[in-house]
């Protein structure tokens, strides 16, 4: 594993910059990787300041350190602060050469992080807790979400009423915590959870609804 040193001033510059919601920043729980906490702070701050248009301090550009960050999903509006910070040179100003990795499927980020294929991962609190419960040595070191984002969604011409989902097909990204969320929604709405078919549609949440493969999606 690589031990990445963070230049002076990077931690402060980082934690001022991430307003785009997308979950928690996770690193491996390893004494040799403790400096990634500061790097995660820098990444979060750089994106937040860029997204919010905050006044930026003048920072002497240090030698760059490459940091691999695996996203939680396909690049989307939730990541705009991160990509804007990269495009405007905010990461470079604090000595970071950030490389974003698009996961092969929604369940891949934490697995890639554990295998050493990434230095940091963006994930979701429930997913991290489930992984830790299974023995994964992972830690949350920051957040780029201000509120929960998981939602039950349908197309406009067929609005979702949780009380009328008995016998429906609901698409998810295939993450374990989503099944638990969906079961809770159904139970609270008086629906027999066993009557609902859960379909793993991976990244294709919207296409699955538009093609009528599923009646709604949770994601």
Strand runs (DSSP E) across 128-180, as ranges?
A: 138-143, 152-153, 169-172
Q: Measured in Å, how far apart are the chain's first and last C-alpha atoms?
A: 33
pLDDT score for 62: 60
pLDDT digits (tens, 9 = 90+) for 192-210: 999 999 999 999 999 999 9
| 81 in a structural domain | yes
| 3 in a structural domain | no
Q: Which residue has the tokens 């629906």?
A: 191
Q: Report the mean per-residue pLDDT for the chain.
A: 80
Q: At 93, which CATH number?
A: 3.40.190.10
pLDDT score for 9: 41
| Cα distance between residue 11 and residue 55, in whole Å | 16
Domain boundary among 143, 171, 191: 143
| 102 in a structural domain | yes
| 4 in a structural domain | no
**One domain, residues 163 and 197:** yes
Between 214 and 7, the higher pLDDT residue:
214
pTM above 0.75, yes or no: no
Strands of 152-153's sheet, edge to edge? 152-153, 216-218, 169-172, 197-200
**One domain, residues 109 and 188:** no
Domain total of the chain: 2
| 20 in a structural domain | yes
User: Are 130 and 8 contacting, i.e. CB atoms less than 8 angstroms apart?
Assistant: no
**One domain, residues 90 and 25:** yes
Phi, psi of 59 (to 5 degrees): -125, 130
| Cα distance between residue 20 and residue 171, in whole Å | 25
pLDDT digits (tens, 9 = 90+) for 57-115: 555 556 788 999 999 999 988 888 889 989 999 999 988 999 999 999 999 999 999 99
Q: Which domain holds residue 60?
A: 10-143
* Kind and range of the H or E run holding 84: helix 80-87
User: Are 120 and 25 contacting, i.e. CB atoms less than 8 angstroms apart?
Assistant: yes
């Amino acid at each position: 594993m690589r031990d990445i040193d963070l230049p002076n001033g990077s931690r402060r510059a980082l934690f001022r910059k991430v307003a785009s919601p997308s979950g928690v920043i996770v690193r491996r729980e390893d004494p040799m990787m403790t400096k990634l906490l500061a790097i995660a702070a820098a990444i979060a701050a750089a994106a937040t300041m860029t997204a919010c248009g905050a006044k930026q301090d003048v920072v002497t550009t240090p030698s760059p350190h490459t940091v691999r960050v695996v996203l939680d999903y396909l690049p989307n509006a939730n990541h705009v602060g991160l990509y804007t910070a990269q495009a405007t040179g905010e990461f470079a100003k604090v000595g970071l050469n950030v490389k974003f990795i698009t996961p092969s499927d929604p369940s891949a980020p934490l697995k890639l992080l554990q295998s050493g294929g990434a230095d940091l991962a963006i994930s979701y609190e429930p997913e991290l807790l489930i992984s830790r419960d299974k023995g994964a040595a992972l830690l949350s070191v920051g957040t780029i979400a201000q509120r929960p984002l998981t939602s039950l969604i349908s197309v406009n011409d067929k609005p979702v009423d949780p009380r009328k989902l008995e016998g429906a097909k609901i698409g998810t990204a295939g993450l374990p915590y989503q099944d638990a969320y969906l079961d809770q929604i159904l139970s609270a709405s008086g629906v027999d959870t066993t009557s609902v078919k859960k379909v793993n549609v991976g990244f294709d949440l919207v296409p699955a609804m538009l093609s009528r493969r599923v009646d709604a999606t949770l994601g």
